[in-house]
Each structure stands twice: as C-alpha cells, then as structure tokens.
Amino acid sequence: MNRNEYDFEFLQNRFESQRLSEADTNTCYVVEQTSTRRKHCGVDHLAGPGELFHQSCEVEFDIYIPKDTLDCHYYIFSSRGTHTHPPAPPNRLPLRLWMSLLELIGKINDPALTTARFLQNPLLKAFCEKYHTQHISQIHASLSNMDRISAMIYKQKVLHYPEGQDFNGVLWEYQVRHENADPSKRYIQFIKYSELSQHKVVICFFE
C-alpha cells in the first residue's frame, strides 16, 4: 500500500467527527423543478444529503407576439431584473452518455414511465454503479436538471408509443409491429373493432 495515495489527516478528522470545511460539505449541483416533492438532494455527501430550498427570483420576462403571425414571423423576448440564484448547471451532455441513457429508457420499456419511476428503477441503479455513483446527478452536472431527464423520457415515449396506452396505442402497436410479423413470434394476434358499435376485440398470446 502506498501511503501517499491516502489523505490520512482527512480520514483521521472524519473518524473523529471533527467539522469538515464548507468546501467539503456544501458543494452540490442538484437543481430541481419548483414543483418537486423531494426534500433532499439525494446525493450522498460526506455530511449527508443536503436539504433542498426554494430560491426566488425577481426577474420578469415579456414575450411580444404579433397579431398576424403570417405577416410577421418574429417574436420579441425581453427580461428585466437581476437573477438572485446560481446559474443553471452545464446543459451539454456528452453524446455517448446521451445515447446510453436513451438505450436505458428503451430497455425499461414502460409507456407509463415518469421521471420519479425512472429514478427508482433498478436498471438505473445498475447504470449508476458502472460510473461508481449512487445518483444520476453525480455522473454529469447537467443531469442535476430533472427537466432534461423528463424531456428524454417524453421523447422516447413519443417515438415508441405515439398513440399512448389506450386502444389506439394497442392498434398502432399491432399495425406497426405485429400484423405482418411471424405468427409464432408476435404477441397481438388479432384485433377487430367497430366504430359504430364501439365494440373492440383484442386477442393476445404467444404460440
């Protein structure tokens, strides 16, 4: 063991429960929506998960939209005031990480997937372990913004389930992926419906 690889002074202070410096305990990049129900950042800091608080901002935004958008194709956007909160975290996600997350969402294959359910999914936990982290926000600073994750989930749901989860969704799935497939491999075997009577019949099974 190479003694120079370890900070023994820090470890000694840690085990003796001495106060850590502010830089060691308070650095956090988690940004949540104001509607979040979470009370803590979810990151395992040395001093424990930090408590989230709402940061108000006095900046006002104005958007001017022309009455005739065919004649004038431009909008005017303006803002007034000074931001009283930290800037948003970096929003450029590395392409490889972006593609890996999209693949992960595809593997979960849940048309009712929400951001909250995604964060609790065991596949995401295994994904974080590959990066030696416990939370997705620790993989890259831009993933602290839950809006980004929500947008990725929404995009995948629109691509794979454009008609939602109701009968129209089943009909789309059948017409696109099952109707012309090998009967021994498809799950949706037969669909019949009447627009007049509103009667619907869906038969699903594997041969």
Distance CA 58, CA 51 (A): 23
pTM for this entry: 0.50
pLDDT at 1: 46
Torsion sign (Cα): 168, 170, 176, 179: negative
On the question of pLDDT at 170 being above 60, the answer is: yes
Distance CA 138, CA 42 (A): 10
Segment 89-120, tens digit of pLDDT = 566 788 999 999 999 998 998 888 998 899 99
Regarding beta strands 60-64 and 188-193, do their DSSP bridges make them parallel or antiparallel, or are they unpaired? unpaired
pLDDT at 125: 92
Segment 16-72, tens digit of pLDDT = 554 544 444 456 767 766 666 778 876 767 777 788 888 788 899 999 999 888 888
Pick the closest to residue 130 from 105, 95, 155, 101 (CA basis): 101
